[in-house]
Amino acid sequence: SMTIAHAQPALAAIREQLQQVGQEHLLTFVDQITPEQRSALLAQIASLDLRSLPGLIERYVRASSDAGKGSSAKIEPVPYFAADHTSKDRGWDREAYARKGRELIGAGKIAAFTVAGGQGSRLGYDGPKGCYPGGAVTGKPLFACLADWILAAQERYRPATGSIPWYIMTSPLNHEATVAFFKANGYFGLKATDVMFFPQGVMPSLDLKTGRVLLSQKHEVALNPDGHGGSLKALYTSGAIDDMAKRGVEHISYTQIDNPLVRVIDPAFIGLHAASPQSSGEMSSKMVAKSDPGEKVGVLCKVDGRVGVIEYSDLPAELAQARDADGGLTYSAGSIAVHMIGVEFVRRLNAGGGGGFSLPFHRAEKKVPFVDLSTGQRVEPTSNNAVKLEAFVFDALPMAARSIVLETQRLDEFAPIKNATGSDSPASCAEIQTRRAARWLGGAGCRVPYKNCGAVDAVIEVSPRTAMDAGELLVGGAGAAKVPAAIPSGAKVVI
């Protein structure tokens, strides 16, 4: 038949390409699958960058090296703008920069950008992480938490036109589910034409022992998204950057999907990134002071004179523990994965068409379900069996000519959901939301109930539509009218 006449040469050619890179096992079951499955498998294999595989396997599986490891670079603490802008050493004119930021937002030069292509494997949630409940009381999905922030920013900074475009990076594994979720939820009140989705790239998942690419089905290669660092390429190759240029967008406000308190659009940070003499307007970062030397967050540092992030596992212990004369951690700048990124910077990184650009990979050992080649059975591994290769967005920081760091208060904007239980879990996130709300409301004169242990005796969620910061709950602020006189013990309250 036509199909077979057409499929045979493709099969032979692909078998030969696979043999050249030691991956011919991917065709083990090619005679046991349907013609449709076979064409899908061949198309999938054809889309992989096979020639780069042997080098990657040698480096990341056999030698198990990692982009950040084993370097002899000179590490110094990073200078930063303090959360307390009145600070003696690190103070700055917050109002002037916030005004600049509001001007840029008002002129339509800022887009929101959220990376939501991850697999959320630690949380163990089956679906796009953005669909997971984020609101402490409402249980509204994480996507809605961020959408509400954008709506609030539109109401305040762009009342005339009402739009701040929102770009969302998905992966081929969750793209359709994400788009369907937005449709089903009316884009959470945003205009459908202001929300753009594009999938990131993928990498084959590799067997931890042999470096062989795993099959997730007899007819399917195991793929994983290529890391949040893949966003800098996907923004370009998807056409998102061109779309931004058409809309007049100059800077991108980069956030992750898993932090419902994230300030998706932050005028003061935008102003510093775009207008501070210390910034080239290419890539800027936010940090919170690390809670203790062992906290598992990447640390913003100067590496050979350039701003960069060192993963917690790569920061030498003596540096992680080092203290200043005042007792504070010398390397305290914990990255919260919030960045401002210049549209022109993304263009520059992709100069040459985007095909050639990629950040270094990091290896992560994970559990990846696979088909056993000898039995044909699918196996759900109970321990790590695979290496995933992922790029990290902060590896682009040293490519910026001048990069600034802004410190923020942890309680105000950092409550990530990573794990099912314990730290950085849905429970800890709800607790932080409540503590933040209690502090804001208490500051505005509301009586908040506390237990003897000091915990808030209620669950409280403040919508960004009501207040984007503590100040908006004070007399004369946008949300002042919504502050109750008191919150009853044990209540669940949405403000």
Chain residues that interact with ligand UTP, rule: CB under 6 A: 115-122, 129, 169, 200, 225-228, 230, 256-258, 390, 418
What distance in Å separates the CA atoms of residue 184 and residue 182, rounded to the nearest whole number?
A: 5
| Helix or strand run (H / E) with residue 102 | helix 94-106
Task: For the CB of residue 170, give the shortest distance to ligand UTP in the complex, in Å.
Answer: 8
Task: For the CB of residue 259, give the shortest distance to ligand UTP in the complex, in Å.
Answer: 8
Question: For residue 195, how many C-alpha atoms fall within 13 Å in the half-sphere facing its CB?
Answer: 23
Task: For the CB of residue 169, give the shortest distance to ligand UTP in the complex, in Å.
Answer: 5
Cβ neighbours of residue 327 closer than 8 Å, sequence gap 6 or more: none
Q: Which CB atom, from 52 or from 121, has the smaller least distance to ligand UTP?
A: 121
Q: Which CB atom, from 42 or from 387, has the smaller least distance to ligand UTP?
A: 387
Task: For the CB of residue 425, give the shortest distance to ligand UTP in the complex, in Å.
Answer: 12
Q: Which CB atom, from 117 or from 211, has the smaller least distance to ligand UTP?
A: 117
Q: Which CB atom, from 133 or from 281, has the smaller least distance to ligand UTP?
A: 133
Task: For the CB of residue 202, give the shortest distance to ligand UTP in the complex, in Å.
Answer: 8
Residue nearest to ligand UTP (CB): 118
Q: Which CB atom, from 120 or from 308, has the smaller least distance to ligand UTP?
A: 120
What distance in Å separates the CA atoms of residue 223 and residue 388, rounded to the nearest whole number?
A: 9
Cβ neighbours of residue 16 closer than 8 Å, sequence gap 6 or more: none
The single-letter code of the amino acid at 97 is Y
By DSSP bridging, strand 166-170 and strand 378-379 are: unpaired
Task: For the CB of residue 168, give the shortest distance to ligand UTP in the complex, in Å.
Answer: 9
Q: Which CB atom, from 227 or from 477, has the smaller least distance to ligand UTP?
A: 227
Task: For the CB of residue 335, give the shortest distance to ligand UTP in the complex, in Å.
Answer: 11
Q: Which CB atom, from 341 or from 446, has the smaller least distance to ligand UTP?
A: 341
The single-letter code of the amino acid at 431 is E
CA angle 142, 146, 150 (to 5 degrees): 160
Which residues are 329's β-sheet partners? 323
CA angle 145, 147, 149 (to 5 degrees): 75
Separate counts of helices (H) and strands (E) for the chain? 13, 21
Residue 371 sits at φ, ψ, to 5 deg, of: -95, 125
